[in-house]
């Protein structure tokens, strides 16, 4: 269990992380989602004791990183492709890491096997492709067989095959009961990889919910077809919903309902005993929901106690 409590990090004028509180549970992949500059890397660096919080705490199974005995055996991380000595082989790079962290040598070949690098173990890491370097970084993270894993934008620069592989890799780690946190600025990527989402914008928490919940919020409008359309229109309007009659591409009449999720419309129809022949959420607005939620965080920051006037707008250049 990874716990972030009231975590804040200020760099001069920049409030990179602002009063973040959330938990990352074992057994699921938790996606850490936010636009570039939202504060994901800074938060992860504080989790690993690489940056000191301005205030607040991060604990891993109840202890700050700095207090962990043999940290590599408890937490594995892939922050970027990682520094690798170009003239060392993959195996000797990992042996050096293992030796300096009290990890038995046999783990090196196990970790190489795990990430599919056994056949190139004795090759110079300097000649590796980005995808292979990424795998070597993962092998390093797995070396101590840690229960907690932190991956910062692991799919960046990978080819489609590598992306599919790494998704499966992270899911397996969660299935083994480990705590897995993976950051990304890509909502679609996270919806394919993660079970749970912690969403931040401007250093603040925007959402902490399942991927399903987040995407159902994204279905902000719903299209419905029914043999009892006038009656359905009436009950939906009575429920206070904004209903607009329309026509499907094939010419059949439909109702479009704004700012609602399919569950609500389905429940209202069922309650009124009305048959539905189609119930479709408009999922195209995932990115829009993300942006509108982030914009909300910016407004809150502007009006909040710490909101500096002229705070940078979300999504803008850093």
Ligand X SMILES: Nc1ncnc2c1ncn2[C@@H]1O[C@H](COP(=O)(O)OP(=O)(O)OP(=O)(O)O)[C@@H](O)[C@H]1O
Minimum Å gap between C-beta 133 and ligand X is 18
Residues 5-24 that bind ligand X (CB under 6 A): 11, 14, 16
The DSSP result for 41-76, as a single string, is: HHHHHHHTTSS--SEEEEEETTB-GGG-SSHHHHEE
Is residue 40 a contact point for ligand X (CB under 6 A)? yes
CA 240 to chain centre: 34
The DSSP result for 147-207, as a single string, is: SEEEEESTTTT--HHHHHHHHHHHHHHHHTT-EEEEEES-HHHHHHH-SEEEEEETTEEEE
Q: Which residues are CB-neighbours of 46 under 8 A, at least 6 positions away? A: 7, 9, 17, 52, 53, 58
Q: Which residues are CB-neighbours of 173 under 8 A, at least 6 positions away? A: 29, 149, 180
47 and 207 in contact (C-beta within 8 Å)? no
Taking each helix axis from N to C end, the angle separating 211-218 and 286-303, rounded to the nearest 10 degrees, works out to: 90
Is residue 272 a contact point for ligand X (CB under 6 A)? no
Minimum Å gap between C-beta 195 and ligand X is 21
Minimum Å gap between C-beta 58 and ligand X is 14
Cα gap 145→16, rounded to integer Å: 31
Is residue 147 a contact point for ligand X (CB under 6 A)? no
Stretch that binds ligand X, among 32-40, 122-130, 253-261, 293-301 (CB under 6 A): 32-40
Nearer to ligand X, 16 or 260 (CB): 16
Minimum Å gap between C-beta 16 and ligand X is 3
Minimum Å gap between C-beta 247 and ligand X is 43
- Residue from 30, 41, 220, 262 in contact with ligand X (CB under 6 A): 41
Nearer to ligand X, 221 or 314 (CB): 314
Nearer to ligand X, 14 or 279 (CB): 14
Nearer to ligand X, 10 or 192 (CB): 10
Is residue 36 a contact point for ligand X (CB under 6 A)? yes
Nearer to ligand X, 94 or 197 (CB): 197
Is residue 198 a contact point for ligand X (CB under 6 A)? no
Chain positions contacting ligand X, by CB under 6 A: 11, 14, 16, 34, 36-42, 185, 318
């Amino acid at each position: 269990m990874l716990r972030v409590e009231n975590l804040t990090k200020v760099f001069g004028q920049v409030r990179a992380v602002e009063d973040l509180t959330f938990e990352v549970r074992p057994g699921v992949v938790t996606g850490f989602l936010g636009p570039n500059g939202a504060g994901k890397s800074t938060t992860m660096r504080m989790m690993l004791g690489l940056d000191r919080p301005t205030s607040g705490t991060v604990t891993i199974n109840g202890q700050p990183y700095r207090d962990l005995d043999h940290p590599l055996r408890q937490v594995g991380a892939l922050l970027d492709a990682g520094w690798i000595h170009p003239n060392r082989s993959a195996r000797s790079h990992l042996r050096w890491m293992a030796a300096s962290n009290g990890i038995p040598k046999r783990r090196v070949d196990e970790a190489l096997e795990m990430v599919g690098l056994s056949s190139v173990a004795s090759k110079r890491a300097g000649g590796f492709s980005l995808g292979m370097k990424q795998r070597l970084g993962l092998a390093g993270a797995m070396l101590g067989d840690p229960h907690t894993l932190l991956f910062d934008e692991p799919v960046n620069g990978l080819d489609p095959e590598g992306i599919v592989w790494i998704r499966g890799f992270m899911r397996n780690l969660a299935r083994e009961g480990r705590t897995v946190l993976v950051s990304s600025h890509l909502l679609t990527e996270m919806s394919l990889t993660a079970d749970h989402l912690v969403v931040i914008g401007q250093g603040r928490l925007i959402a902490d919910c399942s991927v399903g919940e987040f995407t159902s919020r994204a279905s902000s409008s719903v299209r419905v077809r029914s043999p009892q359309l006038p009656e359905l229109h009436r009950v939906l309007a009575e429920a206070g919903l904004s209903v607009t009659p329309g026509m499907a591409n094939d010419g059949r009449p439909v109702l479009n309902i704004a700012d609602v999720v399919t569950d609500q419309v389905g429940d209202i129809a069922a309650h009124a005993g009305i048959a539905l022949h189609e119930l479709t959420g408009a999922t195209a607005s995932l990115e829009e929901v993300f942006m509108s939620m982030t914009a909300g965080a910016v407004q809150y920051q502007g009006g909040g106690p710490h909101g500096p006037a002229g705070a940078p707008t979300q999504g803008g250049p850093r």
